Amino acid sequence: MATQDAQEKTGTDEQPTGSLALFRLLRRNAGLRRLVVSVLLMEVGQWATWVAVPLFVIERHGLGLGVGLTTGLMTVPNILLGVAAGNIVDRNNPRNVLVVSAVFSGLMVALFPLTTALWQIQVLAVLVGFGYMFVVPAALALRPQVMDSGSEMNGNGLVVTAQRMARFIGPAVAGPAIALVGLSWVFVLEGAMALTATLFFARIPSHAPVKRSPGNRTTGIVAALRSNWFGELVGDVRSVAGFLRRSPRLAALTVTVLTYYLAFGAGTILLAAHSLRSFHDMPGMLGYLFGALGVGGIVGATLAPMLSRYRSGVVYVLASVLEAVAWLVLPWTGSATGAVLLMLIAGALESCATVIFFTEVQHLLPADYTGRYYATVLSIGDACQLGGRSIGGFLTPALGVPWTAAAVSAVFAVPAIVLAAPLMRDKPRPCPDTDHSPEKPSHQ
């Protein structure tokens, strides 16, 4: 991965810094292009599944507690087993993990129309969540292997753009698809999309992050089961915690992204309450607000590489604070256009900060710990988002929308302000254990 070599931006000195650089990078880097397309396809299917599953439960078994429970079960594997998934990603070739998890989750999704009881749907929801929990850590672990040194900002901008486009396209496609072909066939289409993504995953050139020394961690499921797998997992978690202790910048990035999950979870409840209170005559207002967040995310991720000329830490802190201001001002906006515009800005700022987060972590963390780190962050992040929704559901009726917006805004901004010193250093400090990371392949 890029640490000291990041300062030798080979092949990037003459590249444009605007959006044209993204398209040129996609054209010349086949591995990155396949990764971006496959992530887009996979996550479009995931977001469409999030829309289709509750509708499927309501259609088959009526509206009740089972709707929310079934949807929530898809997040349970990642919350409970996310760290183990990251360990598997780092012990093996991340591309192979992606292929297996994409095929497994696609097949599980396609089985939904064959169910006849609610418990069968819930079992499939758990299995789908089990497959999905490998996808993001494995995809992120592939990034150092398909990005040239010096192109990390543009490359991560493309990956985040694909993720934000999926958030917007998935729900947007699910609605018309349900109307045209029926709810059951949507699951079949989503399974086919996952299998199509697998074809792109399989063509990405990849290898295991590091060569394991004899007697150290062995690869393969059977070998892992024979070894002290749980002990190694605990040791890996301690190692990641050690990286956080030794790198204040990495620790600050991690804390701010987890508090973002907490704030955004509460913000989703805030948006629902605000849309019902101030725009009750517009039944679709909540959808417009979430759509604005999605479109803003696409715009922000696309434009983020243009800010690479500035100090990344300053941009990261500034984006977090400005996003907090947008959420703070939202309850005082009586105009539907103004509210949508605020969420558009908030989405752009969030995705810009996300691109910087991915780029900084890629510089700071050894490649062979990428899967474990992101799996840990995502599992804790899902728990924080769930907790944020619960807190938002409690605060909104108790304090009202304006004071809840102030609390949400504080959670967005205060951690970034408090941790501004390590975040705003001129250059990231490479992790002490990065000297064994493999060299990146050239994609000239």
36-89: per-residue pLDDT in tens?
A: 888 888 888 888 887 788 878 877 877 666 666 777 788 888 877 777 788 788
What's the rounded Cα separation, in Å, for the pair 131 and 434? Answer: 30
> Is residue 353 within 8 Å of residue 319, measured between CB atoms?
yes
Query: 176-190, 265-279, 307-321, 357-371: which range is least confident on average?
Result: 176-190
Question: Of all residues in the chain, what percent carry a pLDDT higher than 90?
Answer: 21
- Tell me the average pLDDT across 379-394: 86
- pLDDT category of residue 427 using cuts at 50, 70 and 90: low
Place of tokens 């705003």: 424
Residues 307 and 193 occupy one common structural domain: no
The pLDDT assigned to 344 comes to 94
Residues 264 and 145 occupy one common structural domain: no
Last residue of a domain, one of 205, 231, 266: 205
- Tell me the average pLDDT across 372-387: 86
Last residue of a domain, one of 188, 205, 222: 205
With respect to residue 236, please indicate whether it lies within any of the assigned structural domains.
Answer: no
Place of tokens 């729900």: 171
Kindly tell me the sign of the dihedral angle through the C-alpha atoms of 256, 258, 263, 268: positive
Distance of CA 74 to the CA centre of its chain: 15
Residues 332 and 418 occupy one common structural domain: yes
What's the rounded Cα separation, in Å, for the pair 44 and 37? Answer: 11
3-state helix vs strand vs coil in the chain, percent to 5: 80, 0, 20
Residues 411 and 280 occupy one common structural domain: yes
Query: 34-38, 98-102, 222-226, 391-395: which range is least confident on average?
Result: 222-226
Residues 252 and 387 occupy one common structural domain: yes
Residues 271 and 341 occupy one common structural domain: yes
- Neighbouring C-alpha atoms within 13 Å toward the C-beta of 141: 34
The pLDDT assigned to 432 comes to 46
CATH label of the domain that carries residue 143 = 1.20.1250.20
- Neighbouring C-alpha atoms within 13 Å toward the C-beta of 227: 15
Q: Is the pLDDT confidence value at 227 over 70?
A: no
With respect to residue 438, please indicate whether it lies within any of the assigned structural domains.
Answer: no
C-alpha angle 61-66-69 in degrees, rounded to nearest 5? 150
Please give the mean pLDDT across all residues of the chain.
80
With respect to residue 269, please indicate whether it lies within any of the assigned structural domains.
Answer: yes
CA torsion, points 82, 85, 86, 88, in degrees to nearest 10? 160
Distance of CA 316 to the CA centre of its chain: 17
The pLDDT assigned to 16 comes to 46
The pLDDT assigned to 260 comes to 95
Residues 282 and 416 occupy one common structural domain: yes
Place of tokens 């469409």: 48
With respect to residue 3, please indicate whether it lies within any of the assigned structural domains.
Answer: no
Q: Report which secondary-structure segment, H or E, holds 89.
A: helix 76-91
Residues 43 and 181 occupy one common structural domain: yes
With respect to residue 316, please indicate whether it lies within any of the assigned structural domains.
Answer: yes
Following DSSP, what letter does each residue of 217-270 receive, concatenated?
A: PPPSHHHHHHS-HHHHHHHHHHHHHHHHHH-HHHHHHHHHHHHHHHHHHHHHHH
With respect to residue 238, please indicate whether it lies within any of the assigned structural domains.
Answer: no
Residues 135 and 50 occupy one common structural domain: yes
Which structure tokens are listed for 308? 């690479």
Mention every residue, 6+ apart, whose C-beta is less than 8 A from residue 43: 162, 163, 166, 167, 170
Query: 174-178, 201-205, 372-376: which range is least confident on average?
Result: 174-178
What's the rounded Cα separation, in Å, for the pair 364 and 342? Answer: 33
With respect to residue 171, please indicate whether it lies within any of the assigned structural domains.
Answer: yes
- Tell me the average pLDDT across 129-136: 87
11: left (phi over 0), alpha (psi -120 to 50) or beta: left
Per the structure, how many domains does the chain have?
Answer: 2
With respect to residue 222, please indicate whether it lies within any of the assigned structural domains.
Answer: no
Residues 58 and 173 occupy one common structural domain: yes
Tell me 147's DSSP state.
S
Last residue of a domain, one of 205, 223, 258: 205
Distance of CA 307 to the CA centre of its chain: 21
- Tell me the average pLDDT across 131-141: 86
Q: Is the pLDDT confidence value at 225 over 70?
A: no
The pLDDT assigned to 238 comes to 74
The pLDDT assigned to 330 comes to 92
Which structure tokens are listed for 366? 């050894």
Residues 79 and 187 occupy one common structural domain: yes
What's the rounded Cα separation, in Å, for the pair 137 and 378? Answer: 8
Q: What are phi and psi of 208, to 5 degrees?
A: -65, 145
Place of tokens 């079934």: 70
- pLDDT category of residue 229 using cuts at 50, 70 and 90: low
- Tell me the average pLDDT across 238-256: 85
Residues 184 and 327 occupy one common structural domain: no
Please give the model's pTM, rounded to 2 decimal places. Answer: 0.78
pLDDT in tens, 120-130: 988 998 999 88
The pLDDT assigned to 83 comes to 76
- Neighbouring C-alpha atoms within 13 Å toward the C-beta of 223: 9
Structural domain range at position 251: 243-431
